[in-house]
């Protein structure tokens, strides 16, 4: 018999919060994490770059993490996972390590040490060959060793859908009673490689990211590490654990349309959302809020809004894109947005889209939450991740009753 899957713990580090409490406050207030990129991170002074800004984590924290872990991803993940375990009131020493799994989503992966190796090579220094051992699966293994995890390990890299797919993979394992607990989430810290890559695609905004605004001109890259503890309702009940939300269903679709561009009509984005609702045994009438992928690129926002309009019909729904505040954290985007959505469900608020002056949404039943969060008792929400190479994912999150 399939188990109900609940969220009992969450942890997050991003540009608007070093922990869950800071994240909630700044999410409600519509605070932007956008800041100038520091020169000791990488040089963006060349006029080739459209932007000199990103939604970066606190610089002191960045240096501390980099000094301990050149991959960045392992150490920043450990910090977020420690918070997730603490908020779940979970004692790992009293659990069977073979019944705890880890699912990590990332897009950038081990590129940080690779870029350090390249810098040394270009500068004529003898590169440290050890830097090339920081492969993405090795980062997952390092985290598993830190917490003594002996259950299933998954490393998922499905572009910008990675974080949501890691939640979906964990959901499957808990729902089918394969493990007792899953630590699931995503992590990415933007590098010179990703920054210059998105710049080459003309996808970086010249200013602030403005999802669903007529003047939108691209995204801001962001750093994030966000993880959730998933377990069955029966397990949470036995140990009297806090329950933030319930994962009702999710969907993975690959539209196989284009390497970077989404299908302009949004037909596969709609399919992903509809599939997630169907698995959750819900309909569009139940949906209160959609945390949109909302990158503020011209093609994506237009496509996603077509998909939402087609999905919702005449039903009312609130929409926002938290990327307007925390940037696009690539493989971590889905997981940090999952945490934002689950937190909104638990605390009764909808986070906003900021920087919007000329809204592209014309349908009165689709309500864009702007500038500040609003108090609202969310019963069911969708969180969307639509990535390169046609990777589409959506997860349905419910208020626990």
State if pTM tops 0.85.
yes
What is the C-alpha separation between 308 and 319, in angstroms, rounded? 9
Q: How far is CA 390 from the centre of its chain?
A: 17
pLDDT recorded at residue 119: 81
- According to DSSP, the β-strands at 289-291 and 317-320 are parallel
pLDDT recorded at residue 117: 82
Helices and strands per DSSP (H, E), number in the chain? 12, 15
Which active-site residues does the annotation give? 160, 293, 328
Mean pLDDT, 10 residues at a time, over the chain (401 residues)? 94 98 98 95 91 95 89 94 98 94 92 80 83 79 95 95 97 97 97 92 96 97 98 97 98 88 91 98 98 96 97 98 98 98 98 96 96 98 93 97 88
pLDDT recorded at residue 261: 83
pLDDT recorded at residue 135: 74
What is the C-alpha separation between 264 and 120, in angstroms, rounded? 42
Q: How far is CA 146 from the centre of its chain?
A: 23
pLDDT recorded at residue 349: 98
pLDDT recorded at residue 76: 96
Angle at 279 between CA 278 and CA 280, to 5 degrees: 90
């Amino acid at each position: 018999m399939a188990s109900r899957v609940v969220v009992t713990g969450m942890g997050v580090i991003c540009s608007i919060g070093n922990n869950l409490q800071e994240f909630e406050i700044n999410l409600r207030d519509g605070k932007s994490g956008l800041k100038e990129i520091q020169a000791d991170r990488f040089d963006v002074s060349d006029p080739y770059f459209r932007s000199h800004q990103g939604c970066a984590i606190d610089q002191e924290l960045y240096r501390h993490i980099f000094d301990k872990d050149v991959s960045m991803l392992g150490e920043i993940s450990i910090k977020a996972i420690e918070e997730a375990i603490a908020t779940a009131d979970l004692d790992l020493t009293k659990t069977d390590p073979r019944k705890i799994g880890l699912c990590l989503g990332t897009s950038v992966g081990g590129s940080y040490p690779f870029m350090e190796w390249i810098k040394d090579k270009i500068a004529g220094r003898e590169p440290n060959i050890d830097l090339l051992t920081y492969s993405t699966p090795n980062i997952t293994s390092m985290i598993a060793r830190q917490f003594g995890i002996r259950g299933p390990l998954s490393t998922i890299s499905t572009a910008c859908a990675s974080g949501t797919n890691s939640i979906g993979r964990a959901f499957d394992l808990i729902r089918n009673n394969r493990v007792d607990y899953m630590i699931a989430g995503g992590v990415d810290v933007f590098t010179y490689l990703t920054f210059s890559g998105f710049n080459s695609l003309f996808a970086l905004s010249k200013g602030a990211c403005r999802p669903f605004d007529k003047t939108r001109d691209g995204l801001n890259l962001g750093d994030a590490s966000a993880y959730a503890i998933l377990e069955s309702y029966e397990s949470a009940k036995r140990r009297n654990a806090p329950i933030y939300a319930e994962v009702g269903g999710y969907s993975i679709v690959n539209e196989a349309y284009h390497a970077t561009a989404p299908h302009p009509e949004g037909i596969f984005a709609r399919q992903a959302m509809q599939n997630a609702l169907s698995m959750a045994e819900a309909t569009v009438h139940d949906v209160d809020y959609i945390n949109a992928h909302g990158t503020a690129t011209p093609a994506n926002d237009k496509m996603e809004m077509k998909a939402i309009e087609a999905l919702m019909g005449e039903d009312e729904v609130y929409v926002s894109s938290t990327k307007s505040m925390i940037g696009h954290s690539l493989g971590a985007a889905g997981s940090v947005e999952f945490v934002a959505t689950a937190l909104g469900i638990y605390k009764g608020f909808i986070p906003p889209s900021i920087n919007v002056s000329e809204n592209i949404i014309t349908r009165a039943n689709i309500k864009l939450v702007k500038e500040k969060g609003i108090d609202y008792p969310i019963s069911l929400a969708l969180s969307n991740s639509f990535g390169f190479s046609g990777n589409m994912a959506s997860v349905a999150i419910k208020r626990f009753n």
